[in-house]
Structure 1
Amino acid sequence: MSVVAPPPAATACAPDAAAFTRIAPPPRPVARLAGDEEALAVARELAVDFAAGAATRDLERRLPWEEMERFTQSGLWAITVPREYGGPGVKAATVAQVTALISAADGSLGQIPQNHYYALEVLRNGGTEAQKRFFYERVLAGERFGNALAEIGARDYHRRTRLVRDPGGWYVEGRKFYCTGSLFAHRIPTMVNAEEDGREVAYLVFIPREAPGVTLIDDWDGFGQRVTGSGSILFDRVQVEPEWVVPFQASLDRPTAIGPFAQIIHAGIDLGIGRGAFEATLPFVRERARAWIDAGVARASEDPLTLYALGEVRVRLAAADALIERAGRYVDLAQAAPDEANVAAASVAVAEARAASHRAGLLAANKLLELGGTSATGRADDLDRYWRNVRTHTLHDPVRWKYHWIGAYHLNGRVPPRHGAL
């Protein structure tokens, strides 16, 4: 494994190259959580600590190495491991709410495990028993999975990241970008294509980050979600073992809950950032904002239009919260009985939750700045991070297509497509 240093403009507080080689299973035992309530309680406790340094990490682009160790050792990265494999196997809504709690404290930290949970859901649906036993045990021991899924403009098969089967072994070749969490990962689940019987077939390969030929590039320079470890990765003839290769095409060809499960976690990220923005708005309005002259009141907290705006934000957040809880029940059913009807219903329910969380998160972040006034733009407070984070994350996939498929399903009975972006 090699590392390309980030560009100078982004390196002020980024770790040196040696930091990338220090990834190893945590030195302290990883907690084994009992179930949903304990997972939520642990997330609430961690969120308090994570919130304290969120502004500094964002302002200085200080990658959260120590926080990631605490996050992992808490047991929260193993909450989706099924009970039959030694994990707590929590409900889908619990995963989303854990994500929301952490995202309210720090939007970047909340997003980092999303693809880890996604990879475990792909494993649950497509892995062999031996693969499940092995990878679940690694997660229970504290391993983190990143992701290498997205590519830029690679419609031509021969330009995509490929799985090559040579007589001398199996290799992965290609380049990925927006690889959230991979800087902190022990393994990097990588989407690859192979040509079989005249068609492309997709696999997810769980590649160790230290494998020869893997180059991590800390080049994420988005204005939001700045410390998610979302750099690029080069794979230069990386030799992989067949045991690391999990079929993914079959999980696209048949109904599974992979897509709605992935999306409900994204809804939790938007909801959480919105909650964080709302909680930051309240003390700022009480203590520092100024009442507008036409309101005829002495304090901003008594301004009737400010009260209206805050009420609207609170209702939007509560509605998104309720829709996520509702969608979670659909996802749980689709995981237990993944037929076409259940998966379609789950996809639409989660799309409704994502549409609501998208709007609520953006509204909350906007109103923080609007109601706080000019003083809310001070660099030291870093209040704009909520807007930058939620705006960046809500671009993950277009909400307009969620509305489209919601309407098509309810009006015309059209089943939405099966992929991870709906």
Structure 2
Amino acid sequence: MSLPGPIDPPARLLMGPGPITAHPRVLQAMSAQLVGQYDPFMTDAMGEVMGLYRRVFDTANEHTLLIDSTARGAIEAALVSLLEPGDRVLVPVMGRFGHLLVEIAERCGAEVHTVTAPWGEVVPLEAIAAAMEAARPKVLAMVHGDTSTTMRQPFDGLRELCDRFDCLLYADVTATLGGNPFPTDAWGVDAATAGLQKCLGGPSGSAPATFSPRAVKAIESRRSIEAGIREPGDPATAHPIRSNYFDLAMIFDYWSPRRLNHHTEATTMLYGARECARVILEEGLGAYQARHDLHGRAMLTGVEGLGLAVYGDREHRMANIVAVEIPDGIDGEAVRGALLRDFGIEIGTSFGPLAGRVWRIGTMGWNARTDAVLATLAALEAVLRRHGASVAPGGGVDAAYDVYGTAA
């Protein structure tokens, strides 16, 4: 039997909600040779990564590190390590990924309470406050930016609420970190987890995360026998964390100067995550976020220039992604297929009540740049015309140029 040939993916411009086209420097870093997990070079690189991501998260948290998993694994690590069976957790739900937090928290054995907003909106602070008054949760678990709807949940006032109810604040920042402001310490966030594959400009498979002293204390109280605090036969003071791989107490030790073995660090992913942070910080975190805002506005204005409607509450839209309503009579999947087949450009669809109703177009990481925005708008116009849609000739590109302040 013949073997398949070497891996040779087609040229693609990934302009969907993620994953996105990885930065070339990140791919180059990931081609570097491996070293042993306790080689001084490796442990030094781990320390560098911790320092770099403190700056990306805008935090002084000592416990800032990588979790070797996709972004979803990091969400699970945070929740399974913070929540004991029977703990109350409040999840504001404004899209698909709020429902994901609910499911993971339920699997942790928590008593889950929710407060919801219609898709395309965010949950008002007063509604969260009322739900916290009723539920008195141990953890308030929030999605900062939900790519299913493209909405970004405000965090102003949440720390004050959490202090009032002696509650930990967890944030899923998978879709927003790097491309949108997220001042972890200023907002009083206790735990936040992300992924490389969106604004950070890398591949899926490594998850930057940060934990405040409050969160660390809660996690450390649940140390297992393997973590070296309790001896066999000693009574547990709390429910042990229900996962070995995602036991953050042990992962903390692995990333500490003690370097207690927990798993073999994903070296190549660490190299990639390190370079993602270097790219961001060389540009400057504020400038990097401003670039996402600029190209996100250009894309939004461009699709409107084509005569397409933008979905959702524009005041609370993420900088790095726009949801576009599919015109009546247009087969959304056929348009996506033609963009991919004829132009090598991928845009996304959505989930649940938005399936078949919107396209999601991302401008993030390496793809938050002028040529990527203009090429996507030009290709979308051409495909829409061939599918019978009435669009303004050149309207998308011209509108984007107006944002850029550049003559065609």
Please state which band the TM-score falls in when normalised by the shorter chain. under 0.3
Q: TM-score, normalised by structure 2?
A: 0.27
**Structure with higher helix content:** 1
Considering Cα pairs closer than 8 Å and 6+ residues apart, tell me whether 1 or 2 has the greater RCO. 2
